[in-house]
């Protein structure tokens, strides 16, 4: 039986979280088209008859860290790089030009003395002409990495050969096979954090470009009532009253919309009815207190 840890690394928005969600078969890491969506490493367990893989999904490394949030995100990613892993999966996005941000990530990958796999994502876009094809800028990497795979994280294309190779690179575990598959694959976050992440995802998806980076979600209470309904009390925090008004919306429409979509996804994840008590608060210091 094979068992080990695989580090997912790449710059923001290359598709690491989408890959992990679709591989595991359920949401373990939130996604959106915006940078800074993933803010801390997520550890998730993949299992089949060959063994167990703990994937560590890291936040995308940013070149610029102009605020406390960006600085802390980069710190958490760098901390994850120091964790003992067995394989490194370096994901790139050939629909975007190589830049200094990419060069920084590559420099860190080169320093890790473990087996490394290069994954070129989004082949459904750049190989079909739906988006710009900058794959020529990444061609030199194929000579540097002995293992290279082309996938689409979104369309779940070519996952099988990639996972097969990962298992080949993992160490053998002595002892009996693990028979009882864990129904909840996220290993390092509790229920409150998971629900807060789902709420934050809806903010990212439903608000404009400016707001998401100044917001977070906090879950204060989760309680299953006698009638079987799960009561959740949560807050969306932002650092400016102007953003608070935008999040609430005219006559409270926007916060109701965010809450409705979040509630439906929580119900889908839990299989139970959910009452979500969601408020918006201004806290200019939330990055210092909650992150």
Say yes or no: 159 and 198 in one domain: no
**Average pLDDT along the chain:** 84
**Which helix H or strand E contains 278, and what residues bound it?**
strand 274-282
Position 152 scores a pLDDT of 97
- Contact, 214 vs 280, CB < 8 A? no
Contacts of range 153-157, beta carbons closer than 8 Å, 24 or more positions apart: 153/15, 153/16, 153/18, 153/19, 153/22, 153/121, 153/122, 154/15, 154/18, 154/22, 154/122, 154/124, 155/124, 156/22, 157/123, 157/124
61-70, 142-151, 171-180: range with lowest mean pLDDT: 61-70
Please report where in the chains the tokens 């900058």 appear, as a residue.
Answer: 134
Residues 154 and 256 in one domain: no
Cβ burial of 102 (10 Å; 0-12, 13-18, 19+) is buried
The CATH number of residue 232's host domain is 3.30.300.20
Quote the number of domains for the chain: 2
How is 82-141 classified by DSSP, letter by letter? TS--SEEEEEE-TTS---HHHHHHHHHHHH--S-EEEEE--HHHHTTTSS---GGGGTTH
The answer on 195 and 165 residing in a single domain is no
| Whether residue 34 has pLDDT greater than 80 | no
176 located within any domain = no
Q: Are residues 242 and 120 in the same domain?
A: no
- What predicted TM-score, i.e. pTM, was given to this entire model? 0.72
pLDDT exceeding 70 applies to what percent of the chain?
81
Location of structure tokens 């200094």: 100
Q: Which residues span the domain enclosing 103?
A: 2-169
Q: Which of 88-97, 124-133, 189-198 has the highest mean pLDDT?
A: 88-97
Q: Quick one: pLDDT at residue 97?
A: 94
At 4-19, the pLDDT tens digits run 999 999 988 899 989 9
Question: Residues 27, 114: one domain?
Answer: yes
> Is the domain of 205 the same as that of 157?
no
199 and 274 housed in the same domain: yes
160 shares a domain with 61: yes
pLDDT for res 58: 79
pLDDT for res 185: 60
């Amino acid at each position: 039986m094979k068992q080990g840890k695989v580090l997912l690394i790449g710059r923001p928005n290359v598709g690491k979280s989408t890959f992990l969600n679709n591989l595991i078969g359920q949401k373990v890491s939130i996604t959106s088209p915006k940078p800074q969506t993933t803010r801390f490493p997520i550890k998730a367990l993949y299992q089949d008859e060959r063994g167990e893989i703990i994937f560590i999904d890291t936040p995308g490394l940013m070149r610029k860290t102009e605020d406390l949030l960006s600085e802390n995100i980069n710190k958490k990613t760098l901390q994850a790089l120091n964790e003992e892993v067995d394989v490194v999966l370096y994901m790139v996005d050939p629909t975007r030009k190589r830049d200094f941000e990419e060069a920084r990530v590559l420099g860190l990958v080169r320093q890790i003395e473990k087996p490394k796999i290069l994954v070129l994502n989004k082949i459904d876009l750049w190989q079909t002409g739906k988006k710009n094809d900058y794959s020529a800028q990444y061609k030199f990497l194929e000579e540097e990495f002995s293992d290279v795979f082309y996938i689409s994280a979104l369309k779940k294309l070519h996952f099988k050969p990639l996972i097969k190779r990962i298992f080949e690179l993992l160490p053998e575990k002595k002892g009996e096979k693990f028979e009882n598959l864990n129904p909840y694959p996220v290993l390092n976050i509790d229920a409150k954090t998971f629900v807060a992440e789902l709420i934050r995802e809806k903010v990212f998806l439903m608000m404009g470009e400016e707001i998401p980076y100044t917001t977070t979600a906090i879950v204060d209470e989760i309680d299953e009532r006698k009638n079987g309904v799960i009561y959740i009390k949560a807050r969306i925090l932002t650092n400016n009253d102007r953003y608070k008004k935008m999040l609430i919306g005219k006559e409270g429409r926007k916060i109701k919309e965010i809450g409705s979509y979040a509630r439906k996804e929580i119900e889908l994840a839990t299989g139970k009815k959910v009452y979500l008590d969601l408020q918006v608060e201004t806290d200019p210091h939330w990055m210092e207190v909650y992150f």
